[in-house]
Structure 1
Amino acid sequence: MGGCDVLIDPNISFVPEINTTGFTAFSMPSWQLALWASAYLALVLVAVIGNATVMWIILAHRRMRTVTNYFIVNLALADLCMAAFNTAFNFVYASHNIWYFGRAFCYFQNLFPIMAMFASIYSMTAITADRYMAIVHPFQPRLSGPGTQMVIAGIWLVALALASPQCFYSTITVMQGATKCVVAWPGDPGGMTRLLYHLAVIVLIYFLPLGVMFVAYSIIVLTLWRRAVPGHQADGAHLRHLQAKKKIVKTMVLVVVTFAVCWLPYHLYFILGTFQEDIYCHKFIQQVYLALFWLAMSSTMYNPIIYCCLNQRFRSGFRLAFRWCPWVTPTEEDKLELTHTRSLSMRVNRCHTKETLFMAPSDATNGQAGGGQDEVPTEL
């Protein structure tokens, strides 16, 4: 198969370095290229604007600065950067099969996408852990503000370490007149090192965290849906409290499921290509790749839509952010949603081992990540 063209992905370069032309085999009619370009442009615009708005809603409003929301900011930042710095450039590379962007950006393209994917899914995992502690072990110490920052920094440092080998061995090569950005693993004629590395990456940035989140959310769901109401006086408040926490769990489960569905076909495509390299010789594989890559990258634009649809505070924030649009009219309630500092809190009478729910101002706890031990956030 040395003479066939190969669609090379700079993000996860499973593809062997073989002779390619890149000029004719993957050329597309202008109308087809225009359709794909429009689809990718729409994806980038929605993802960048949506995630930037999510970050503004949280960082610009003190009430929104909670542990969970700081991880959402990290998730939004990773998705925004993935859409802005990876999607468009990789689309151009995939649609022409020629690398136009130089050596430095070749290194970047083999480093940052893995980092961003790692940061995205492990931010979701951190949110899952925070929800798990808040719901399953509500009386245990919560993550503090500095602790949250350390976890976020740790996520990016581990992501950098995981992506560094592929970046280090990135190189620019010319194959039959076409410039390629490839990963040249040294001393690996059989491709075993490349195979083990990429299988390890897929496990670490997809299957392992999804498995952990599946187990954790299963326990959370069982805990919430089986929790009895303690006492008659607190029935209404306790039910509202449980309903609010259930909405958070539903929102985050939908975020995780969306990520899993979007990325699964993409990972399966490269796993299949690792064992059956001849699939890259087919003309139709370019269209398959562009469709699977669009689906994977579309995961960066769905989260803001999910937050807006399922969470009142984010919905109010989006109305305020887009109040300049003639069809968007924010209300006074929308402003109060993001500035009013009353929260539902829980205190425990340890002597009588029963819960008492009350409404009280909590400026300090809502203004900092990871408030007090007895604080139980009921909204994102």
Structure 2
Amino acid sequence: MGACDMVTDANVSSGFESNTTGTTTFSMPGWQLALWAAAYLTLVLVAVIGNATVIWIILAHRRMRAVTNYFIVNLALADLCMAVFNATFNFVYASHNIWYFGRAFCYFQNLFPVMAMFVSIYSMTAIAADRYMAIVHPFRPRLSAPGTRAVIAGIWLVALALAFPQCFYSTITTDQGATKCVVAWPEDSGGKMLLLYHLAVIALIYFLPLVVMFVAYSVIGLTLWRRTVPGHQAHGANLRHLQAKKKFVKAMVLVVVTFAVCWLPYHLYFLLGTFQEDIYCLKFIQQVYLALFWLAMSSTMYNPIIYCCLNHRFRSGFRLAFRCCPWVTPTEEDKIELTHIPSLSTRVNRCHTKETLFMAGDVVPSEAANGQAQDG
């Protein structure tokens, strides 16, 4: 959470990933601790169930296996792991101010949050890039299945490299009899290494990808909503295809905006702490940290809700996944949505639809296969 008068010879610093709570012991009434525990437990349960369901919907149904949806699987996996490992264990650490989980898990806990956040936001960036190519440049070559797997593997490898310094400098210390998991950066003049690392990480896993996605979705929006040739309007299947693309773009823009809003206060908190470390010694800082950390971690549970609300096919998948619940009644249409593979004539017609709309200057949808996987 932050370092406040740490009793150690090392230059111990917190950083937004470092899980250090210092000596500001978490002291609050039992009922208040119970409320925080309930809030975090709800977050973890919703995130795990929701993201696991999204992964099942895509991987268990052939019709959902498109390039964009594989990036959604990667995003859901990162969010699920973030909720399980970071939200759960960091809350326990912050609430007791003692590290119970050993040296090996201390390394992991200082490595994985940065990795998972990097994977999350760059999966969103990959989705934006895929939609940009499909809608703005529909006749250029698209990512193949091996290419998609290579991009996903590359995202994880770069994430590992970016997070490695946090893991490398992690250590276990004892402060007034309490075990701490901290990141002990090498001593240098004014902590420049720590500051540069934090600024680089925040730039790479927050500001840079958000700028890229803002530009990509702005161009996509202009392409989808413009009307360059008067008198050429989409009708019937063409109109439905256009509306489906708009809905999908709206859903992904909402995913990106939600991520940005949830994480911004957390980043600002630790940027402020980098320049003014005494804020970690304030009496109410534990409450502030728990609130900001919950808001940041809550980004892991919103995406499945957004998919379910804004995408017809995902909504059908959720109804099928929760059909054992008495208040959920899937229909035959829900099964068809996820299991029916369009005929060759339908796919040819969709390709013709795409070319017709493109020539009309009305909209440039993605290729037929991706359109089938993402209509909603």
TM-score (norm. length: structure 1)? 0.88
Query: Which secondary structure state, in structure 1, belongs to the residue aligned with residue 180 of structure 2?
Result: strand
Tell me, in whole angstroms, the C-alpha distance in 2 between the residues paired with 1:330 and 1:34: 36
- How far apart are residue 347 of structure 1 and its match? 3.4
1:201-240 CA-to-partner distances (Å, cap 9, x unmatched) read 0000000000000011011101111144697696433322
Tell me, in whole angstroms, the C-alpha distance in 2 between the residues paired with 1:14 and 1:70: 31
Tell me, in whole angstroms, the C-alpha distance in 1 between the residues paired with 2:43 and 2:157: 28
Query: Which residue number corresponds to residue 18 of structure 2?
Result: 13
> 1:171 is aligned with what amino acid?
T
> 2:51 is aligned with what amino acid?
N
Query: Which secondary structure state, in structure 1, belongs to the residue aligned with residue 121 of structure 2?
Result: helix
Query: Which secondary structure state, in structure 2, belongs to the residue aligned with residue 207 of structure 1?
Result: helix
| Cα distance, 1:120–1:80 mapped onto 2, change above 3 Å | same
1:238-272 CA-to-partner distances (Å, cap 9, x unmatched) read 32222111111000000000000000000000001
Query: Which secondary structure state, in structure 2, belongs to the residue aligned with residue 161 of structure 1?
Result: helix
> 8 Å contact 1:244–1:379 — kept in the other structure?
no
Tell me, in whole angstroms, the C-alpha distance in 2 between the residues paired with 1:2 and 1:59: 46
Is 2:204 the partner of 1:204? yes
Tell me, in whole angstroms, the C-alpha distance in 2 between the residues paired with 1:84 and 1:8: 25
> 8 Å contact 2:16–2:270 — kept in the other structure?
no
Is 2:370 the partner of 1:346? no
Query: Which residue number corresponds to residue 103 of structure 2?
Result: 103
Query: Which secondary structure state, in structure 1, belongs to the residue aligned with residue 185 of structure 2?
Result: coil
> 8 Å contact 1:54–1:73 — kept in the other structure?
yes
TM-score (norm. length: structure 2)? 0.89
> 8 Å contact 1:4–1:281 — kept in the other structure?
no
- How far apart are residue 13 of structure 1 and its match? 3.0
Q: Structure 2: which 5+ residue stretches go unaligned?
A: none
> 8 Å contact 2:66–2:370 — kept in the other structure?
no
- How far apart are residue 355 of structure 1 and its match? 6.7
Percent pairwise identity:
78
Tell me, in whole angstroms, the C-alpha distance in 2 between the residues paired with 1:59 and 1:349: 27
Query: Which secondary structure state, in structure 1, belongs to the residue aligned with residue 57 of structure 2?
Result: helix
Query: Which residue number corresponds to residue 311 of structure 2?
Result: 311
Map 1:1-380 to 2 at 5 A.
3=5, 12-13=17-18, 20-21=22-23, 25-188=25-188, 190-228=190-228, 235-342=235-342, 345-347=350-352, 354=359, 377=371, 380=374
Over aligned residue pairs, what C-alpha RMSD do you find? 2.8
Aligned residue pairs, count:
359
| Cα distance, 1:305–1:9 mapped onto 2, change above 3 Å | farther
* Greater share of helix: 2
> 8 Å contact 1:11–1:110 — kept in the other structure?
no
| Cα distance, 1:26–1:190 mapped onto 2, change above 3 Å | same
Tell me, in whole angstroms, the C-alpha distance in 2 between the residues paired with 1:272 and 1:233: 52
| Cα distance, 1:101–1:233 mapped onto 2, change above 3 Å | closer
- How far apart are residue 27 of structure 1 and its match? 1.4
Tell me, in whole angstroms, the C-alpha distance in 1 between the residues paired with 2:53 and 2:285: 36
Q: Structure 1: which 5+ residue stretches go unaligned?
A: 358-371
For structure 1, which segment, 221-230 or 271-280, has the greater mean C-alpha deviation from structure 2 after superposition? Answer: 221-230
1:34-81 CA-to-partner distances (Å, cap 9, x unmatched) read 000000000000000000000000000000000010000000000000
> 8 Å contact 2:119–2:155 — kept in the other structure?
yes
1:254-310 CA-to-partner distances (Å, cap 9, x unmatched) read 000000000000000000111111111111010000000000000000000000001
> 2:101 is aligned with what amino acid?
F
